Amino acid sequence: MSTGDANDSLRSIGVKVEPVSPDDIDAFTLNVLPLLHEVRHALERLLETGEPTVIDMGSIPLAPGEFEKIDGALGTGEVRAVLESMGPSQIYETQFSGVWRITHFNAANEIVGRFIEVTRMPEILLAQETDVRVGLDLLTRKLSGESD
């Protein structure tokens, strides 16, 4: 049998791809609502006590499509930042002020961590003590001409 015949006979196998019905999608999305409630409680806590909350999205058994549903429900807000350190990290505020989505990538652009942070400002965006010291040191040296 030539390869052409083989391809034809493969094509003759009826492949049927069925779209998932809306009912079934709902069955898969059991995690979305509880997670949004968790975020709501975290926001309340932030207002009352100032205590921030971090939710590791890698610790939840998400069904196919749920991840997108959660992100869709959170939406996007006013702030968007990109951190470049050991690979990129995307940080943005969702439509609910105080609720942030953080995705860390490694140098190969693979996701290594996905978090929802409920806080006024994600700590990773703040300039860090040690980094400021390094920067101060560098600037001082530059100004005194040592770095040339």
Partner 1 sequence: MRKEQTLGEVLAAKGVSRRGFMKFVAATTSLMALPPAMIPKVAAALENARRPSVIWLPFQECTGCTESLTRSHAPSLEGLIFDTISLDYQETIMAAAGHQAEEALAEAMKLNDGKYLLAVDGSIPTKDKAFSCIGGKSNYDVFVEAAKGAAAIVCVGTCSSFGGIPAAQPNPTGAKSVTEVLKEAGIDKPVINVPGCPPLPNAITGVLAQYLTFGQLPELDHLGRPKAFYGQNIHDRCYRRPFYERGQFAETFDDEGAKKGWCLFKVGCKGPVTYNACATIKWNGGTGWPVEGGHGCLGCSEPGFWDWGGFYKPLSQGQWGGWKTLGVAAAAGAAIGLASVAVTRSRQAKARQEAKV
Q: Contact letters (x/-) for partner 1, 81-120, by CB under 8 A?
A: --x-xx--x--------------x-xxx-xxxx-x-----
Does position 60 interact with partner 1 (CB under 8 A)? The reply is: yes
Q: Kindly state the number of chain residues that form the binding site for partner 1, as judged by CB under 8 A.
A: 39
Q: How far is the CB of 86 from partner 1 (least distance, A)?
A: 5
Q: Which residue type sits at 78?
A: E
Contacts of residue 28, Cβ cutoff 8 Å, sequence gap at least 6:
63, 64, 65, 66
79 within 8 A of 96, measured Cβ to Cβ = no
CA atoms within 13 A on the CB side of 41: 8
Does position 129 interact with partner 1 (CB under 8 A)? The reply is: yes
Q: How far is the CB of 20 from partner 1 (least distance, A)?
A: 7
Q: How far is the CB of 135 from partner 1 (least distance, A)?
A: 10
89 vs 94 by CB, closer to partner 1: 89
